[in-house]
Amino acid sequence: MKRIITIGREFGSGGRELGRYLAETLSFAYYDREIIAEIAKRTSLSEKYIQHITEQKPIIPFPIHTGRTFWAAIPDYNQSVHQEQHSIIREMAEKSDCVIVGRGADYILRDSNPFRLFVYSDMDSKIRRCRNNDSSDYEAGEALTDKELARRIEQINTGRADYYEFYTGQTWGARENYDLCVNTGRYTDFKQLAESIAQFCSW
């Protein structure tokens, strides 16, 4: 069985960067936006549209429970994207040792014993990170005040939490769903941090 690391991450906490370094440190494949690109290839939908769908829970007319067959309850426009996403994540995990960022991969791959990492930080750190980092994590432009930026960060993270809960029936960021939860607020050298995390990973 391949060695898999899944990363859940708060927007602004640097989970993506950390994931890249972690993959580099361990010589694992790294999958993040590659998943979106692959779905786009298979469905002929635009990457932007897929990105939107895969970061929001679908709006459905009645409450459903996870752990049961519920695809039928999800609107068509979501259904194919999510089915593709599931298939692609499983394919990737079978192909080689890998790091997969976001997308509820910890839950999708729960039978493959993934090492489940969650990355977070305090709001001040997240704002600082968004301002100082030219990663595309922060697309909202420099014009936002700290308060507006904080609200935007909260919104994105609420979206991620809702999405995760909808598809897994678990609470996003609750310790019991992870093997290691790292607050990145104290760190600036993410390469070194990734090397420390690599020592924890155990299968």
Q: What are 180's two structure tokens?
A: 């290691």
Supply angle C-alpha 38, 43, 46, rounded to 5: 75
Helix (H) or strand (E) holding 113: none
- How many residues bind its own copies, per CB under 8 A? 21
Pick one of 33, 48, 95, 175: the residue that binds its own copies (CB under 8 A).
Answer: 175
What value does the CA radius of gyration of the chain take, rounded to a whole number of Å? 17
Cα–Cα distance between 96 and 31 in angstroms, integer?
11
Q: Which tokens in the block code for residue 123?
A: 């709001």
Of 38-46, 135-143, 149-157, 192-200, which part binds its own copies (CB under 8 A)? Answer: 192-200
State how far the Cα of 137 lies from the Cα of 91, in Å rounded to an integer. Answer: 26
Binding mask 74-113 for its own copies (x = CB under 8 A): ----------------------------------------
Q: How far is the CB of 10 from its own copies (least distance, A)?
A: 9
Which residues does residue 120 pair with via DSSP β-bridges, in sequence order? Answer: 183
Please say which residue, 49 or 187, places its beta carbon nearer to its own copies.
Answer: 187
Query: By CB under 8 A, which span of 55-63, 78-86, 90-98, 169-177 interacts with its own copies?
Result: 169-177
Least Cβ distance, residue 179 to its own copies (angstroms)? 5
